[in-house]
Amino acid sequence: MSHVAILGGGLIGAGWAAAFAGAGHETRVLDPAPEAAARVAELWETAQPVLDRLGQLRPDAAPPRVVTDMAEIAGARFVQEALPEDLSLKQRVFRDLAPHVETAEAVASSSSSFPPDRMAEGTGLAPRFLIGHPCNPPYLMPVVEISAASECAPEAIAAARTLYEGLGKTVLTLNRPVAGHLVNRLQVALWREAVHLVTSGAASLEDTERAVTEALGPRWSMVGPHSVFALSGGARGMEGFLEALGPAFQDLFDDLGTPRLDNATKHALAEAYARADLPPLPDQARDRDARLPVLLAQLAADRNGSK
């Protein structure tokens, strides 16, 4: 029987398994670790109400099933790898995997670090291999980034896109592979400056959080980083903005911090987070899972209504 196979039952793999299972796919998670079944089952319980609020939980959805033998994922329609970020481990598993998934439409990696050509090298999977990188957690966040190996067939890319869109995902496609893909590069650029502002004493960690959640985040949910400034250019848009404020923004570019995540910076940042007046992380996770689906649904309705 055709099914979706997930390689690895960690946080990302279990999150992917919940997303695929919620959409009605028979989902098998390959993970030999003794604790994998309990971890996947626990996350499935967490994800179901979130998927339901997003409208992405089919009434006939069956829980993902954990298997320990690669033969049990033979015949998979699609493979989503979510192993630890260890290149040699990934390549070894891909080489072992290839004979079992000869009919799979595509093999996708969740990797945020390695280029697709390097991962596919010597595995025999290059014509069907691509990055399918989720935002975390995969059952909640709506974006998947595709970055295909240079030999990847258009049919494999199309199959992956169709499958992800069937999960309710927005698919972003990179024209060429870059380290960190698209979302993480933008996210890291902002975080680098937040680290600089906190560790240099320019602002508190709490205020850097609120600067995003209460100022940038609401605006960015409606318009992207380029349009924010194009809207400031009046009738002439981006051209008008750059003419008026380009030099000032170049000065800001030049003044941005370039912190190093050395031991001193890591210690200072961890200490600042521990002292910050923020909710405990489990509370933040529960609040995110409860409130973000409502926001995403409202934003989707607004976008569809404006078309």
178 is a domain residue = no
* Tokens found for residue 79: 């493979």
Asked, as a colleague might, if the bond just before 115 is cis with ω within 30 of 0, I would say no
Give mean pLDDT, residues 98-124: 95
Residues 151 and 193 in one domain: no
What is the pLDDT, as a whole number, of residue 306? 66
305 is a domain residue = no
Last residue of a domain, one of 106, 138, 173: 173
289 is a domain residue = no
Angle at CA 164, nearest 5°, toward 71 and 161?
100
Interatomic CA distance for residues 66 and 72, integer angstroms: 10
Residues 38 and 57 in one domain: yes
What is the pLDDT, as a whole number, of residue 108? 98
Residues 241 and 150 in one domain: no
Residues 231 and 264 in one domain: yes
Residues 198 and 155 in one domain: no
Interatomic CA distance for residues 47 and 61, integer angstroms: 12
Residues 252 and 162 in one domain: no
What percent of the chain is modeled with pLDDT above 70? 99
What is the pLDDT, as a whole number, of residue 115? 94
Give mean pLDDT, residues 35-50: 97
Last residue of a domain, one of 173, 192, 223: 173
Interatomic CA distance for residues 208 and 47, integer angstroms: 29
3-state secondary structure the chain: CCCEEEECCCHHHHHHHHHHHHCCCCEEEECCCCCHHHHHHHHHHHHHHHHHHCCCCCCCCCCCEEECCHHHHCCCCEEEECCCCCHHHHHHHHHHHHHHCCCCCEEEECCCCCCHHHHHCCCCCHHHEEEEEECCCCCCCCEEEEEECCCCCHHHHHHHHHHHHHCCCEEEECCCCCCCCCHHHHHHHHHHHHHHHHHCCCCCHHHHHHHHHHHHHHHHCCCCHHHHHHHHHHHHHHHHHHHHHHHHHHHHHHHCCCCCCCHHHHHHHHHHHHHCCCCCHHHHHHHHHHHHHHHHHHHHHHHHHHC
| Most confidently modeled range among 24-28, 177-181, 220-224 | 24-28
Q: Is the pLDDT at 243 greater than 50, yes or no?
A: yes
What is the pLDDT, as a whole number, of residue 299? 85
What is the pLDDT, as a whole number, of residue 307? 62
What is the pLDDT, as a whole number, of residue 305? 73
What is the pLDDT, as a whole number, of residue 1? 46
**Structural domain containing residue 74:** 4-173
Q: Is the pLDDT at 298 greater than 90, yes or no?
A: no
307 is a domain residue = no
Mean pLDDT (the chain, rounded): 94
Interatomic CA distance for residues 285 and 305, integer angstroms: 30
293 is a domain residue = no
What is the pLDDT, as a whole number, of residue 15? 97
Q: What interhelical angle do 36-53 and 281-306 show, nearest 10?
A: 40
Last residue of a domain, one of 134, 151, 173: 173
What is the pLDDT, as a whole number, of residue 42? 97
Residues 163 and 231 in one domain: no
What percent of the chain is modeled with pLDDT above 90? 92
For residue 71, which of 32, 24, 17 has the smallest C-alpha distance?
32
* Tokens found for residue 205: 């960690």
Residues 65 and 141 in one domain: yes
Give mean pLDDT, residues 213-230: 93
189 is a domain residue = yes
The tally of domains found in the chain comes to 2
Interatomic CA distance for residues 307 and 305, integer angstroms: 6
Give mean pLDDT, residues 254-263: 96
Residues 116 and 206 in one domain: no
Residue 7 main-chain phi, psi, to 5 deg: -95, 105
Residue 256's domain is classified under what CATH number? Answer: 1.10.1040.10
Q: Name the residue type at position 22.
A: G
Residue 33's domain is classified under what CATH number? Answer: 3.40.50.720
Q: How many CB atoms lie within 10 A of CB 146?
A: 21
Give mean pLDDT, residues 244-257: 95
Residues 32 and 133 in one domain: yes
For residue 22, which of 235, 198, 167 has the smallest C-alpha distance?
167
How distant, in Å, are the alpha carbons of 55, 118, 293 from that of 52? 5, 38, 9
Give mean pLDDT, residues 236-250: 95
What is the pLDDT, as a whole number, of residue 300? 83
100 is a domain residue = yes
Residue 145 main-chain phi, psi, to 5 deg: -105, 130
Residues 215 and 161 in one domain: no
Q: Is the pLDDT at 27 greater than 50, yes or no?
A: yes
Give mean pLDDT, residues 119-130: 96
303 is a domain residue = no
Residues 156 and 14 in one domain: yes
What is the pLDDT, as a whole number, of residue 44? 98
- Is the pLDDT higher at 287 or at 2? 287
Angle at CA 179, nearest 5°, toward 106 and 192?
135
